[in-house]
Each structure stands twice: as structure tokens, then as C-alpha cells.
Amino acid sequence: MQAAIYRGPGDIAIEDVPKPEVESPTDAVIRVTHTAVCGSDLWFYRGDNEPEPGSRVGHEPMGIVEAVGDDVTSVAPGDRVLAPFAISCGECEFCRKGLYTSCVEDESWSGDNGGAQGEYVKCPFADGTLVRVPDRYADDEDTLESLLPLTDVMGTGHHAAVSAGVSEGDTAVVIGDGAVGLCGVLAAQRLGAERIIAVGHHDDRLELAKEFGATETVTERGEDATERIEELTYGGANHVMECVGAASAMNTAIAAARPGGTVGYVGVPYGVDEEGLDVFSMFSDNIALRGGVAPVRDYAEELLSDVVQGTLDPSPIFTKTVDLDGVPEGYRAMDEREAIKVLVKP
């Protein structure tokens, strides 16, 4: 079988690798029909972190179950499934309380499991990880493309909104117009926010943000952005969603928050060690910081329900589609911001 392999910064190759097999009774093997390139894949692509060269990549699989181990009861061969970027056993304390990303098993899409940007992956803990797509929609291409973001960015945007405490009638500020920020706008709108202020620097993405429910957009940078947000919110927002994952964006989020407000953050906060976090503003204004790596498995059922009912559709974030051989080109297009997010059909 073929799969995308990390060879070094800027270098993704498609190579022959062994096809995974069921090894443990809780495993499932999935033939990947849909997957994606993630903004977080760009970290290693840009050399911000460096996995072992030869590593399999991709963590947003959707596909058809090919085989299952003897203990798997929730899915069977032939089922259409999707899987979150984080593998979860479904049975430990943290999975039980919905914090699937803190699963004690600590498994990931790598090593023997393979990466999602390949023809097949092995999913350990299939019962705790896989989300079955109802048969009625299992071959509906439009629905599948709308469901694929539930593997990562849609659940992550939702986590930002939930962490920021967004609910009916609120004003929410969304920092970032990447795939997660755009999904954050959708999530805030879905949770009933009345005003959604999208902050970003790309006109096309902010247009999409408006289609997704943003009522206003802010394109200024740094302190000018903060001033504009304060102007629009008469002194700061009670709910700010940080959807970038950078120290500067975190500090913009803190500055945009109203005293007593909450910043919900979902991006790995790169640069915080160097740039620092404005903890003194958080302290003096009692601004809470909530969030972290999104437990998207916990949100899958409710978001899936909305997608199949037609009230939620994040698929417009996919602005480019490639096959497996096109994955390196997909990375390039995302790295150069030609594409918001790349859909891969192996």
C-alpha cells in the first residue's frame, strides 16, 4: 500500500509501506477514503518540530472498516467510520468524562498504526475511537465531506467556543481565520451567539467567516486589532476564542477580553516561551484561560447529528482536493496559504 511519509522539513513523499493488520482484539483496520492535511501538519513541514524522518503522517481518517479484532463490537467490516485525531480507549477515567485527549493509553496515529494520509490505517481501541456514520449517509459524498472536519478542526473550533463559555445571545470574538477559526465561527453561531467578530488577515477567509455567521470582521493587527475589538464591543468581549496557536494571538485574545471574561484557546501556544503570556492583565482583569487540545471524540455525536440534519456544514473550508499522490502538493498549497484546508481522497 501507499502512504505519505515525512522525509524532512518541506519534504513529504508517497512511498510503499506494509499494509497494517489486525493485531490486537480491539483493533480495526480502515481503508481510508477521505482525509485531510491539517494546519498542525505544517509545524513539522515548516521544521517547527521534527518527527523522525520516515514517520507516517496524517491524523484525520475517514473510511470503510476492512477488518476488526474479536473484541470490537461497535463497528463491523463495511461500515463507514471517522476517527478523531486522538485515539481513545473509551474506558478510562478521562474518556468516561469526555476528556478523550487525556486517555491513559496514550496511542496516536503513528508508528504501527500508520498515518491517516495513506491507503489504510490501523485503529487501536476501535470501540473507544471510531464514530460510525449512519448507513443512510454512508455513501453520500456531500455528507461525508461535511463530516470529515469532525475528525479535528470542527471539534476543535467547537472546543474553543465551549471553553470560552459561548452561549445564547453572547458576543464572541474569534481570533484567527484558518480552518479552526472558521469552524469556531460556525460553532459560536451554532451555540447561539448573537454577535460574532472574526479577526484575521485574509479577505477570502473572512468572507467565508461571514457565510459561517460572523457579523463583523476585524483585519487590523496587534494593538490596532485590540483597539478595534474594544471599540466594537464597548470595552472587550466576555468570550474570546483563540484559534491560532501562537503567543501573539493569545495576547491579542487576552487584550480583547472584557474584565471577568474568558479566553478559550485550542491551538498549541507556540512562542509563549519566548514572547511570554500577559498574565498580569489576566490577573488584574480576572480573565480566565480555558481550553487546550480538543477532545473532539466527545463532540462527535452532537456535531454529526447536526451535519446529517443539514444545520451544520463546515465543508467549505476544503478549498482544494487531491488524491494520495497529490498530498505533497496539498502541503505546499496550505503552507503558501493558497488553500484553507486540503481534502485528500486516497
* Binding residues for a second copy (CB under 8 A): 94, 97, 99, 101-102, 163, 259-260, 265, 268-269, 272-273, 276-277, 279-280, 282-293, 295
Residue type, 231: E
CB nearer to a second copy: pick between 68 and 160: 160
For 41, phi and psi rounded to 5 degrees?
Answer: -65, -25
For residue 282, the minimal CB distance to a second copy (Å) is 6
Sheet holding 55-56, edge to edge: 11-16, 2-8, 55-56
For residue 143, the minimal CB distance to a second copy (Å) is 30
CB nearer to a second copy: pick between 16 and 274: 274
SS3 232: helix
For residue 291, the minimal CB distance to a second copy (Å) is 7
CB nearer to a second copy: pick between 76 and 279: 279
Spatial contact of 322 and 344, defined as CB atoms under 8 Å apart: yes
CB nearer to a second copy: pick between 200 and 245: 245
* Residue 266: burial class (beta carbons within 10 Å; 0-12, 13-18, 19+): buried
For residue 86, the minimal CB distance to a second copy (Å) is 11
Distances (CA, A) of 214 to 169, 174, 182, 201, 217: 14, 9, 9, 15, 7
DSSP string, 184-222: HHHHHHHTT-SEEEEE-S-HHHHHHHHHTT-SEEE---H
CB nearer to a second copy: pick between 1 and 282: 282
DSSP string, 215-229: SEEE---HHHHHHHH
Closest by CA position to 199, among listed 246, 152, 146, 154: 246
CB nearer to a second copy: pick between 13 and 92: 92
For residue 341, the minimal CB distance to a second copy (Å) is 22
For residue 261, the minimal CB distance to a second copy (Å) is 10
